[in-house]
Amino acid sequence: MRIVGGRWRGLRLAEVGAGDAAAHLRPTSDRVREAVFNLLAHRPSGDPVPGARVLDLFAGTGALGLEALSRGAAHVTFIDDGAAARALIRENVARCKAEGITKLWRRDASCPGESRGAPFDLVFLDPPYGAGLGERALAALRAGGWLAPGATLVWEEGAEFPVPEGYALDDRRRYGGTVVTLLRVG
């Protein structure tokens, strides 16, 4: 696994290895990550990444958030409650020397509570597939004041799903067993 674009292009990230079966680590492949950032860069409304405050929920290895930083995002907050995931994120942030522009919070990403800071412009959600956690997270983000007006959300799931109330569908693509959906706060 590596950063596929931007200033850290080619930087190898920490290996998940055998991982922790209980952690449900399923990193987004380099190919899918590259496709996601190409979709974002070519949106009719413009690329939301440069200068963005990014929230990476169910962050796993942190690869999506770090890819955003590599491509010009201003800040990333990672949220994951798994010990193995947080260790990988810390190692990957160190490899990128991005300690000053990132935060790592141990929280349940499906119900992060009230936001304590400025809202986020770009949100990545990569929950365990088919568990309904993405829907819960979207409702919690709106209720907790996490989202800037017009924020873009990138949701990876194992199957298509109805667009939740309060969000608009911008794009949806299938990459093997992964469905990537781009939503916008409506």
pLDDT digits (tens, 9 = 90+) for 157-186: 989 989 988 899 999 999 998 999 999 998
Write the single-letter amino acid at 92: N
pLDDT attached to residue 24: 60
Q: What tokens does 11 get?
A: 């930087």
Nearest to 44 by CA among 184, 185, 186: 184
pLDDT for residue 136? 92
- Give residues with Cβ within 8 angstroms of 139, minimum separation 6: 164
Domains of the chain: 27-185 (3.40.50.150)
Mean pLDDT of all residues belonging to the chain: 91
pLDDT value at residue 109: 92
Give the per-residue pLDDT at 131: 84
Task: Choose among 63, 69, 120: nearest CA to 92.
Answer: 63
pLDDT tens-digit profile of 44-101? Answer: 888 999 999 999 999 999 999 999 999 999 999 999 999 989 999 999 999 999 999 9
Question: What is the pLDDT at residue 17?
Answer: 64
Local structure of 167: helix, strand or coil: strand
pLDDT at 48: 93
Average of per-residue pLDDT across 120-137: 91
pLDDT of res. 75: 97
Over residues 87-120, the pLDDT tens digits come to 999 999 999 999 999 999 999 999 999 998 999 9
* Torsion region of 123: left, alpha or beta (phi above 0 gives left; psi -120 to 50 gives alpha): beta
Q: Which of 115, 109, 118 is nearest to 142 (CA)?
A: 115
Residues in the chain: 186
Region label for 17, one of left (φ > 0), alpha (ψ between -120 and 50) or beta (otherwise): left
Strands (E), the chain: 53-57, 75-79, 102-105, 120-125, 147-157, 167-175, 178-185
Provide the CB-side half-sphere exposure for 88 (13 A, CA).
30
Instruction: Give the per-residue SS3 of 24-57.
Output: CCCCCCHHHHHHHHHHHHCCCCCCCCCCCEEEEE
